[in-house]
Amino acid sequence: MPRSRRGLATVEVVILIAVLIAIALIFRGAILSYATDIIHSVFGDSASVIGDISGEDAG
Protein backbone atom coordinates (compact mmCIF):
# COMPACT_ATOMS: atom_id res chain seq x y z
CA MET A 1 0.00 0.00 0.00
CA PRO A 2 1.51 3.39 -0.99
CA ARG A 3 2.19 5.92 1.72
CA SER A 4 0.33 9.22 1.74
CA ARG A 5 2.49 12.21 0.83
CA ARG A 6 -0.16 14.71 1.86
CA GLY A 7 1.70 16.00 4.96
CA LEU A 8 5.08 16.23 3.25
CA ALA A 9 4.56 19.83 2.07
CA THR A 10 3.57 20.89 5.59
CA VAL A 11 6.76 19.43 7.06
CA GLU A 12 8.85 21.19 4.42
CA VAL A 13 7.21 24.54 5.18
CA VAL A 14 7.71 24.10 8.94
CA ILE A 15 11.39 23.24 8.44
CA LEU A 16 11.86 26.22 6.11
CA ILE A 17 10.26 28.58 8.64
CA ALA A 18 12.41 27.16 11.44
CA VAL A 19 15.58 27.67 9.39
CA LEU A 20 14.60 31.27 8.54
CA ILE A 21 13.89 32.05 12.20
CA ALA A 22 17.23 30.52 13.23
CA ILE A 23 19.08 32.62 10.64
CA ALA A 24 17.24 35.74 11.77
CA LEU A 25 18.19 35.06 15.41
CA ILE A 26 21.82 34.39 14.56
CA PHE A 27 22.18 37.54 12.46
CA ARG A 28 19.73 39.77 14.35
CA GLY A 29 22.42 42.30 15.27
CA ALA A 30 23.47 42.71 11.66
CA ILE A 31 19.84 42.82 10.49
CA LEU A 32 18.94 45.51 13.04
CA SER A 33 22.02 47.52 12.18
CA TYR A 34 21.21 47.30 8.47
CA ALA A 35 17.59 48.31 9.03
CA THR A 36 18.64 51.22 11.26
CA ASP A 37 21.08 52.45 8.63
CA ILE A 38 18.38 52.31 5.96
CA ILE A 39 15.92 54.21 8.18
CA HIS A 40 18.51 56.89 8.93
CA SER A 41 19.38 57.25 5.25
CA VAL A 42 15.71 57.61 4.29
CA PHE A 43 14.47 59.81 7.13
CA GLY A 44 17.70 61.56 8.13
CA ASP A 45 18.17 62.43 11.78
CA SER A 46 15.71 60.43 13.89
CA ALA A 47 15.51 63.18 16.52
CA SER A 48 14.09 65.63 14.00
CA VAL A 49 11.59 63.03 12.80
CA ILE A 50 10.45 62.31 16.36
CA GLY A 51 10.27 66.04 17.10
CA ASP A 52 8.17 66.64 13.98
CA ILE A 53 5.76 63.90 14.99
CA SER A 54 5.36 65.05 18.59
CA GLY A 55 5.21 68.72 17.65
CA GLU A 56 8.34 69.62 19.61
CA ASP A 57 11.31 71.54 18.29
CA ALA A 58 14.22 69.10 17.79
CA GLY A 59 16.84 71.84 17.54
pTM given for the model: 0.50
**Domain map (residue ranges) of the chain:** 26-59
pLDDT exceeds cutoff 80 at 49: no
Element housing 4 (H / E): none
pLDDT exceeds cutoff 60 at 39: yes
Q: Is 47 helix (H, G, I), strand (E, B) or coil?
A: helix
pLDDT in tens, 4-22: 666 678 889 999 999 999 9
Q: Is 55 helix (H, G, I), strand (E, B) or coil?
A: coil
Distance of CA 52 to the CA centre of its chain: 26
